[in-house]
Amino acid sequence: MRLSLTILLSIAVSIGCAQKELNFYVGEQMSAFPTGTKCWVDTSSIISFDYYKQNEEKFSSNLPVELSNISGKLWILIPIDSLISKDSPFVVLTNPHINFVSVWWLDEQQNIIKECRPTGDHYAFNSREIHTSSLTFQNPNLSKSKFILISADKRNEAFNLNIHFTKLKFIENRIAQETALFGWLIGIVAVIFIITWVLFSFARDTIYLYYGGYLFFMLCYSFADFSLWHWILAFNTPRNIDFIRPITLAASFIFFVFFILRALSIKVNFPKSYKVLRIGFLAFIAYVVIAICIYVLTQNSGIKFYGILISHYLQRGLLIILIITIIQATIKKTPFALLVSISLALFLGVHLVNYFFENGVLPDRLIFQHFLPIVYTIDCLVMSVIIARTFLRFQKKSLDLSNEILLQNIDFQNKLNEVKEKDLTRISQYLHDNIGAEISAMRYELEALKSNPNQSDALDRLIEKSSFIANEVRNASHNLSPLMLERFGLEESISQFLTQINKTTNCNFQLDIIGNLDLIDKNLNIVLFQIIQECIQNILKHAFAKNTIIQILNEPESIQLFIEDDGIGFDLDHVKYGLGLDSIKKLIEYKQGVFRIVSEKTKGVKIYVELPNQSN
């Protein structure tokens, strides 16, 4: 509600408030222009004192109220005789973004006492008479100087002119305050910018990119607002770089909207508002790109003025939609809704104050001149709370995930131990029932042979039986999956295992492999081999199948295992998994895989397993 009232107030003031973009100050106190002040708006590009003398009669005492988008340069002649007693030897134009400025100090007969060298935003910074961000000119002779003639050109652009007739102390204080303010603003934003990128290196969330982009363009705008790009990039060469301010403002607004969309999860929480915002936002981005291209190609200042004007209106339209969305978010108690509301209120407030300042409603003070970077820095601090809380949430989720992974690892090891224990039990039973029984029989035959050593048939049976036992022991050792896999690899291990099974059973097992199984991760090799072993044991015990097909498919994204038999099948609704198959199923789920069984009575069993390919 408060945000809506702020917008309505801004609109009402912008419509009803009289613009006053030309102002005169004695020191820091706003004052009326001295009696006899005259102005003239000239559409030509000629700047010379002789040209002024030729057109002196065109000057008028009717001072212009609105300077923005004028089609020429402003000439203003100010009598300063009444100000001499105030001991104010300097004239300061605090707007550092005037394109061209020329100044003449004149005597009582309007003859030149001193002609200051031309300066302005389009001149090299080094050409300024006094090296300050404001355009500063010193009176050469307090006793003789009676007039000052100023020619200021910023045609077809936003333009406000505040003229200070002041002392050296005002300039020194202004420079000191401006330097301190700039240092604090840049320091705060730069530190937050660095911290943001450090957080991004940990969290890898796009919200940090949006916030970092917003901070970066705010840094660029602050340099431009304090006229430091002109000092850095054009110290000894004339260069028109005032375009940096509107471009960085538009870019920062783009990242600002991206940040809000991400912080409030508007796409998920408010899909209808998101669609409207997305269309409007894409239109704004397209407009900014097209406007910049047209201006770069044409260098037309009129296009620049109206381009920036339209950009501001588009921004306000998007802000209204954002306000409606934020009201919905506040009602729904969406996380960060209150902080985003504060941020948006600051964003709107700075445009309102900036409008008042440019139109002379607010006095020419340092805080109002640089109100935009000041409030944007405060806004960055508000938004940093969202960033900090987002990172704390990320840390909490990371800690919870680590604990969950630890618990899963413990559970995995438990299930793996169950599978190993089952394998060991099966091997123990096999050794006891098969090999142990055979060795016991050999013992009895050896004892019988001891009493009658001439029985050659008995010796042959013993030799044959010892050979059988040796083979059984070798087969059992081969079937221990880790040892077998380490020695032969997955493909050869499965092949040998199936070959042995085919020799000793009535079921024919067929293996079909697509892809190179040697590229599969070692841990997955063990899991796959144990799955195949368990499934084959179940087929041999319960399926009464004659044929079984095993197919392994190694793809870049996944490993797929198909096992199909022609046995008696079973009803899935009335049969539960045994301990072995249940453990295998849990292992597959732990590996984030898929385990599926399809079966009907008399129609065999189809098993499908899919595991993520960890070799990538």
Burial readout 390-423 (b: 16 or more C-beta within 10 A, e: otherwise):
bbeebeeeeeeeeeeeeeeeeebeebbebbeebb
Looking at residue 420, its pLDDT comes to 65
33-81 per-position pLDDT tens digit: 999 999 999 999 898 999 999 999 999 999 888 888 888 899 999 998 8
In this structure, how many other beta carbons lie within 10 angstroms of the beta carbon of residue 596? 11
Q: How confident is the model at residue 496 (pLDDT cuts 50, 70, 90)?
A: confident
165-197 per-position pLDDT tens digit: 888 888 888 889 888 998 998 899 889 999 988
Q: Is the pLDDT of residue 368 over 80?
A: yes
Phi first, then psi: give them for residue 608, nearest 5 degrees: -125, 130
The percentage of the chain sitting over the pLDDT mark of 90, rounded to a whole number, equals: 16
- Delineate the domains of the chain, giving CATH numbers in brackets: 21-166 (2.60.40.2380), 176-403 (1.20.1070), 490-616 (3.30.565.10)
Q: To which residue do tokens 């499934």 refer?
A: 535
Q: Convert 15-38 into a string of H (helix), E (strand) and C (coil).
A: HHCCCCCEEEEECCEEECCCCCCE
Long-range CB contacts (< 8 A, 24+ apart) of 589-595?
A: 590/408, 590/411, 590/412, 590/415, 591/524, 591/527
Looking at residue 492, its pLDDT comes to 85
Checking DSSP bridges between strand 147-153 and strand 73-79, what pairing results, if any? antiparallel
Contacts of 212 (CB under 8 A, 6+ apart): 193, 196, 197, 200
552-589 per-position pLDDT tens digit: 998 888 899 999 999 888 877 766 665 556 767 777 87
Looking at residue 426, its pLDDT comes to 65
Which element (helix H / strand E) includes 522?
helix 522-538
Q: How confident is the model at residue 216 (pLDDT cuts 50, 70, 90)?
A: very high
Looking at residue 5, its pLDDT comes to 42
Contacts of 513 (CB under 8 A, 6+ apart): 491, 551, 552, 554
241-262 per-position pLDDT tens digit: 877 888 888 888 889 888 988 8
Q: How confident is the model at residue 116 (pLDDT cuts 50, 70, 90)?
A: very high
Distance CA 549, CA 528 (A): 15
Q: How confident is the model at residue 445 (pLDDT cuts 50, 70, 90)?
A: low
Whether the full predicted model's pTM is greater than 0.85, yes or no, is no
∠ Cα 533 537 541 (to 5°): 175
Looking at residue 415, its pLDDT comes to 67
> What is the arithmetic mean of pLDDT over 143-169?
89
> What is the arithmetic mean of pLDDT over 462-473?
67
> What is the arithmetic mean of pLDDT over 360-364?
82
Burial readout 534-566 (b: 16 or more C-beta within 10 A, e: otherwise):
bbbbbbbeebebeebebebebeeeebbbebbbb
> What is the arithmetic mean of pLDDT over 516-524?
79
In this structure, how many other beta carbons lie within 10 angstroms of the beta carbon of residue 27? 15
Question: Mean pLDDT across the chain, nearest whole number?
Answer: 82
